[in-house]
Structure 1
Amino acid sequence: MAQEKCQIDEVTISVIWNKLMNITREVGERVVHGAQSYVMANARDLGPVLLDKNGHIVCQVEYLPCHCLVAEIPTKAILDKFGALDKGDMVLGNDGHILQSGHLPDWTFLVPVYYENELVFYYHFRGHMADSGGAYSGSYFPQAYDCISEGINIPPIKIIEKGKIDEKAREIIFDNIRTSAGVWSDCMVIYGSIQRAQEDIRALIGKYGLDTVKTCCDEMMIRGEQAMRSEISQIPDGEYTGECAVDSDGTIMDRPVWIRVKLTVKGDEMTFDFSDSMDQVDFVNSPLGNTYCFTYFPIFYATDPDLPHNHGALIPIHIIAPEGKVVNPTRPHTYGACGCSTATEITDAVTQALAKATEKAQGVSSRHYSVDVTGRVPIKDPRTGQDIEYFAAPFLEEGGSGAVKGHDGWDGMCGTVLTGVVLRGSVEVCELIMPFYWEWMNLAKDKEGPGEFNGARGSTASRWCTAMEGARTILMAGDASGTFFPPAGAGGAPYAPTGDLYLKRAGRTEKEFFPTMSMSPMYPGDILYTECMGAGGWGNPLNRDPEKIKIDVRDELISVERARNVYGVVIDPKSLTDNPEDVAVDYKATEELRRKLKSDPRYRHPDLVRDDVRDGKISVKEARDKYGVVMKEDDGRWVIDYKETEKLRPS
């Protein structure tokens, strides 16, 4: 990039840059307030990005990384097809094999921004639509056998050309989706919001001049690249690895899907190579753009927060994701879970590699249970008299945020890949739009990620199906993971507990296990139980402040047994009265117990035990008998069986 000194003063650069950021922010806010889609309006599952006329990211703001950091790849696919877009054009598409963006419910929109007769910018917008066709309302189908059965695959198409709607294209698309009036309304809200942003940008250019605005954008690109190169140059040259697995792909339920990455740092550039990941499977495949963005954003977690998140900052980062791998699938393989489940594992693998390279890469591992419910209930809304035929919405159960050095994770927050941006819709809204009643929803006891600084606690909930007889209601755990592969700790912290999903059928007393990536019909009176795991902790839990453990025991968030077994904190039995405020720590016994536990081999980090098994330093039997780590062979190497290990290790 150009190295000449910028001739524009710092104040002007700051004003123009922040104005463009705010205009972009307002694009998203207008859509949030105007959208019909539950997940856009309530969960903020969307993202606008401003790009230059070459399709390079100028600026993005506080929306989901999967919608923002991906922008350059689908934009390139669109411009390769159409060339420069004309005034009044809007291209839409959702085909993940052409746009290489995300799953089918996430529709991509691209609109040009002209000043007089000159193309200056593009607005890329991606949002989660209420329906995209396919077998089920909401377009989630964990057991789909190809991408066509997942939903309608829309190639990039000019749905609006020079300000005129292509009615034939509109008819073809919207005759193949449910709740089409609401989805079309959302398309128009997006188009209108960008139209308003165009006016604001033209006003900005009119005030400062086109050359000045362009120069400011170019300068911020240069600064983004310089800042990222400076950050990378502080990392020692070398190779670093990370790995993580999705529970399954929904087709072969007992086969984990492994994401593996090798990070190579050389000078002021870094390369992430996913060549050792598994070959493409079903449902959890990640289109190339999805893989890129979930590689990028952990890097921003590990670098200066003031670093511009633009094209310049991405230039020193290289990604290798061979075609035909789970991180770059080919048509017609499915990819419905890519934005949550696989995204989490890509993020974790990248974070593990970064954490081996630099202390700035903090442990932020988490999981979630986004259990989707879908169905057809032809009824009338008693309040409005309108027909309600379909419903589709997620039960968003989050494990909260992971801990970082010096700070505990935040309970109830959305997980790592959602970056604190996505919001859980209120119980009242959920009960309004889907046939379920919440019996309870609590923070889960003994489900936190242990550490010197604890990861967030998990959550637990019980929901009754209130569907009418004859109504079709389907439950899908297709955006859920963590039942068999829990969030990792950092800085020496062990793994967080695993989670579980259960169903209890009406009239029965026993609960049945409900695997992630599976589907099941729900009938009136059936109950779904979720026990979501917490997020990863940081540091040795035997170094955690005993007073913090005392408070958690008092509040019934950690049991007396877990306080002793995991944290080495002895609660004075005389203090366990009917009054929770009486809870007290036996400090002398705690000091003695901690000294003893720190030499106990069962407290050795499971990853270190796994590596010793792989290197032939210890046997599988010794790993189990001495260290309490159960190993099994999978995908050609020894891996940890976390469920069985939980039974043997202190908990």
Structure 2
Amino acid sequence: MSNPTHDPVTFDIIQNSLQAISDEMFAAMRKTAMSAIIYEVLDMGTGICAADGEIASSGAGIPAFIGVLDKAVKAVLRKHPVTAIYPGDVFATNDPFYGGVTHLNDMVLVMPVFAEGEIVAWTANIAHWNDVGGMVPGSMSTDAKEIFQEGLRVPAIKLIEKGVSNQAVMDLMMVNSRLPAYLKGDMWAAIAAVRIGDKRILDLVAKYGKDTFVAAMDHFMDYGEQVTLKALKDLPKGKFSFAEEQDSGQIYKVTVEITDDEFIVDLIDNPDQTPTPNNASRDGVIVACQMAIKAVTDVSAPANGGSFRPLVVKTRPGSIFDAQEPAAHAFYYEVEIRVFDLILRCLAQHLPEKLSAGSFASICGTVVGGPHPDTGRHYTIVEPEIGGWGAMPGRDGNNAIFSGFHGETFNCPAEIAEARYGLFVDQLALNPEEGGEGQWRGGKGIRMDYRVRADGNFLTCGYTRSRILPWGMQGGHDGTSNHIEVIKTDGSRKRYAFATGVELNQGDIVRVVTGNGGGYGDPKKRDRAAVIEDVKNGYLSPERARTVYGVEV
């Protein structure tokens, strides 16, 4: 018979309370941040970790960010003896070699929660800060060869000790940024978020007791493991391998082995790390693999540390998926999303009821900046982009949403972009390019035009699936590419996928184009009424309907 203080109803209440606390942390951060990429785009994540660092509850935000938080806490615990961690401490890290996992723009803040003199949990958050120094505005350069060129490294250090700010560290961070006011505002928003989480958890512990609180988290971890193990039993067993050429010409390879109790991802046989910012840390690749196993097991149950106990990830130190210091990491996200996509493509033909044809599958990071035409102050807009998802049996792909890797975020509204940055937004429309047709068609990407308002501006971008297109399945057509086109005032045009510091002047157009997803099934089998509806909605021309679908409209 279970201890009456550890009954399942109490455990459920505590777990749901932790979720509510994570969401409140998210709301606090969103409402107080300075940068639009945080408060509008929601390029952030919040969560609660157990005393040992395992993720216990996640808030809203980018799934790939939530998966960073436990790894950051564990890095803090490796570096700092528990005897040197106190109530009121707040730690910061952005360095992929010290628990930061991603790149230097993504700052993680974690705070220990003490009850009865010992750590019972950690509150944590992560967000993209627009500029942390480095060789270019926005801190992301396709020309960087080592991490020292990418900005200020913050290696899991105390930002606040016993509730008192370390002003020297804060000053050092602000003086290294081209946007110090924004950095300061975003930093204090993150501090407010972990502090409100700390307060709410202490209220929870006071209500139910420390032992019950800790037991509830342990129980939910075990439950997460059981959910994954149950789902694994229903998946096809064996080894599945796939290799895919990348836009760069490199070949990425994966072998996924599924057993009754393990999901093994083998990425050992892959290229060496590069002297470019297209590298990923092992922890970052683990996040991509965690998202993949979640996608094919149980997408409805909340994820926690227990959910990923059956996951085994194999990498080779010194490879692009396990880059060693001092490798540059600015565009890590395009490497990690390729891992995520590679695993899904490897398994898609074996799990058609769960996985779709290829999606635009890129963050499509877009950075535009320069002197603001109204104030003369430097501005930088950092935008991930929305695009088209792949089709699957019984349904068309989603139009114009973020990749599954990027998750619950929003595009920056035109009104905000025009008010805060030195740009006009001339259009935001669905991508009219032909591609992605099938019995069920791929979702549409976007076409968006930024018009530059002043001379001396710049563009930096990092897009993949620019040459290797989203794949069609079972006779469906491939999708279309992700790219940027710069249209100069003299009418000349140039296309980009990866570029740094492209010169922009008044009147130039930056045209963002994201891909249409791949189609599924023979286009000739598409329902005639659906084809007519596509033509009516402008997704398809009458000529294309005739030649691809065989339908006269």
TM norm structure 1: 0.80
Counterpart CA distance in 2 for 1:399 and 1:374 is: 19
Are 1:316 and 2:298 counterparts?
no
Whether 1:501 and 2:484 are equivalent positions in the alignment is: yes
3-state SS of 1:262 partner = strand
Select the residue among 423, 427, 439 that pairs with 2:414: 427
**Alpha-carbon distance between aligned partners in 2 of 1:400 and 1:83, rounded to the nearest angstrom:** 47
Return the match for 1:456 from 443, 447, 451. 443
Give the match for residue 187 of structure 2: 187
Q: Which amino acid aligns with 1:22?
A: A
Q: Could you tell me which amino acid in structure 1 is paired with residue 118 of structure 2? A: E
Deviation, 1:334, is 1.1
Kept in 2, the 8 Å contact 1:131–1:183? The answer is yes
CA contact (8 A) 2:451 2:510 kept: yes
Match status 1:327 vs 2:321? yes
- Correspondence list, 1:241-260, <5 A: 241-247=241-247, 255-260=248-253
- Contact 1:398–1:532 (CA under 8 A) maintained in structure 2: yes
Aligned match of 1:289: 283
Residue 495 of structure 1 and its aligned partner are, at CA, apart by 2.0
1:198-249 C-alpha deviation (Å, 9 max, x unpaired): 22112222222222222211111111111111111222331112344543xx
Separation (CA, whole Å) in 1 of partners of 2:523 and 2:69: 40
Q: Deviations over 1:590-621 (max 9, x none)?
A: xxxxxxxxxxxxxxxxxxxxxxxxxxxxxxxx
**1:351 and 2:357 matched:** no
**Alignment partner of 1:437 is 2:431:** no
> What SS does the corresponding residue of 1:207 show, helix, strand or coil?
helix
What SS does structure 2 have at the residue aligned with 1:69? helix
Query: 2:387 aligns to what?
Result: 399
Partner of 1:597: none
SS at match of 2:23: helix
Report the CA distance between 1:533 and its aligned residue: 1.2
The separation in 1 between residues aligned to 2:11 and 2:404, in whole angstroms, is: 32
> More relative contact order in 1 or in 2 (CA 8 Å, sep 6+)?
2
Distance of 2:310 and 2:330 partners within structure 1? 30
1:550–1:413: structure 2 CA closer, same or farther, 3 Å change rule?
same
Q: Is the 8 A contact 1:241 1:263 kept in 2?
A: yes
Measure how far apart 1:357 and its partner are: 4.3
Q: Aligned equivalents of 1:170 and 1:454: distance in 2?
A: 51
Matched, 1:569 2:547: no
Q: 1:163 to 1:245 in 2, by over 3 A?
A: farther
Instruction: Indicate conservation of the 8 Å contact 2:373/2:422, yes or no.
Output: no
Q: 1:145 to 1:543 in 2, by over 3 A?
A: same
**CA–CA distance in structure 1, aligned partners of residues 2 and 392 of structure 2:** 38
Change (3 A) 1:493 1:220: farther
1:299 alignment partner AA: I
Verify the 8 A CA contact 1:549 1:569 in the aligned structure 2. no
After superposition, where does 1:110-509 map in structure 2 within 5 Å? 110-247=110-247, 255-281=248-274, 282-339=276-333, 341-363=334-356, 365-368=359-362, 370-377=364-371, 381=375, 389-419=377-407, 421-447=408-434, 449-467=436-454, 469=455, 472-478=456-462, 480-490=463-473, 493-506=476-489, 508-509=490-491
Quick one: distance in 1 between partners of 2:537 and 2:359?
Answer: 25
Worse overlay, 356-365 or 8-17: 356-365
Give aligned-pair identity as a percent: 24
CA distance in 2 between counterparts of 1:5 and 1:322 reads: 45
SS in 2 for 1:481: coil
Deviation of the 1:101 alpha carbon: 0.6
CA distance in 2, matches of 1:288, 1:83: 24
**Alignment gaps of 5+ in structure 2:** none
SS of aligned partner of 2:459: strand
Distance 2:2 2:482 in 1: 54
Q: Provide the C-alpha distance between the structure 2 equivalents of 1:530 and 1:310, rounded to a whole number of angstroms.
A: 36
Match of 2:98 in 1: 98
Aligned-partner residue type, residue 545 of structure 2: A
Aligned residues of 2:26 and 2:60 also touching (Cα < 8 A): no
Residues 275-284 or 39-48, more deviating:
275-284
Aligned equivalents of 1:366 and 1:376: distance in 2? 29
Q: Which runs of 5+ in 1 are unaligned?
A: 248-254, 382-387, 572-582, 584-651
Distance in 1 (CA, whole Å) between partners of 2:496 and 2:352 is: 38
Could you say what the CA RMSD is over the residues aligned between the two structures, in angstroms? Answer: 2.2
Q: Deviations over 1:100-131 (max 9, x none)?
A: 51011001111001124231101121111121
Aligned residues of 1:371 and 1:475 also touching (Cα < 8 A): no
CA contact (8 A) 1:246 1:342 kept: no
Farther-moved stretch of structure 1 (29-38 vs 554-563): 554-563
Provide, for residues 68-98 of structure 1, a one-character-per-residue CA deviation record: whole Å limited to 9, x for no partner: 1122322222111002331011110111122
Shift in alpha-carbon separation, 1:368–1:72, aligned structure 2, 3 A: closer
2 CA distance for matches of 1:34 and 1:109?
15
Query: Following the alignment from structure 1 to structure 2, what is the Cα–Cα distance between the partners of residues 180 and 22?
Result: 32
Deviation for aligned residue 1:349: 0.4
Q: Give the distance between the partners of 2:443 and 2:2, measured in 1 at CA.
A: 46
SS across alignment from 1:92: strand
What's the secondary structure of 2:427's corresponding residue? strand
Pair 366,170 (structure 1): closer, same or farther in 2 beyond 3 Å? same
Q: Aligned letter for 2:398? A: W
Q: Residues 194, 518 of structure 1: CA spacing in aligned structure 2 closer, same or farther, 3 A cutoff?
A: closer
* Residue 476 of structure 1: how far off its partner (Å): 1.1
Secondary structure of 2:133 counterpart: coil
* Secondary structure, counterpart of 1:140 in structure 2: coil
Amino acid at match of 1:95: D
Deviation at 1:446, TM superposition (A): 3.6
1:351 Cα deviation after fit: 0.5
Kindly tell me: are residues 499 and 209 of structure 1, through their superposed partners in 2, closer, same or farther at Cα, counting changes over 3 Å? closer
2:54 partner letter: H
Once the two structures are superposed, residues 355-387 of structure 1 have per-residue CA deviations (whole angstroms, 9 ceiling, x without a partner) of 244345311632347353343427764xxxxxx
Secondary structure in 2 aligned to 1:173?
A: helix
2:26–2:59 CA contact under 8 A, matched in 1:
no
Distance 2:366 2:98 in 1: 26
Deviates more, 1:325-334 or 1:353-362: 353-362
Q: What's the CA shift string for 1:23-75, capped at 9, x where partnerless?
A: 01110111111101221111101111211111111111332122111223222
Q: What amino acid does structure 2 have at the position aligned with 1:456?
A: G
1:510 aligns with 2:492: yes
Aligned equivalents of 1:244 and 1:110: distance in 2? 37
For 1:333-359, what per-residue CA distance to the aligned partner results, in whole angstroms no more than 9, with x for missing partners?
2111112x2232111101122324434
Deviations 1:256-306 (A, max 9, x none): 344321111223111101112221111121112211111111221222233
SS in 1 for 2:318: coil
The change in CA–CA distance for 1:69 and 1:500 in structure 2 (over 3 A counts) is closer
Structure 2 CA distance for partners of 1:406 and 1:277, relative to 1, 3 Å: same
Q: Distance in 1 between matches of 2:474 and 2:226?
A: 29
Q: Which amino acid aligns with 2:50?
A: D
> Contact 1:146/1:332 (CA < 8 Å) preserved in 2?
yes
CA apart distance, 1:194: 1.8
Which secondary structure state, in structure 2, belongs to the residue aligned with residue 108 of structure 1? strand
CA distance in 2, matches of 1:130, 1:100: 16
Task: Indicate yes or no: 2:511 matched with 1:529.
Answer: yes
Paired residue secondary structure (2:417): helix
Change (3 A) 1:20 1:371: closer
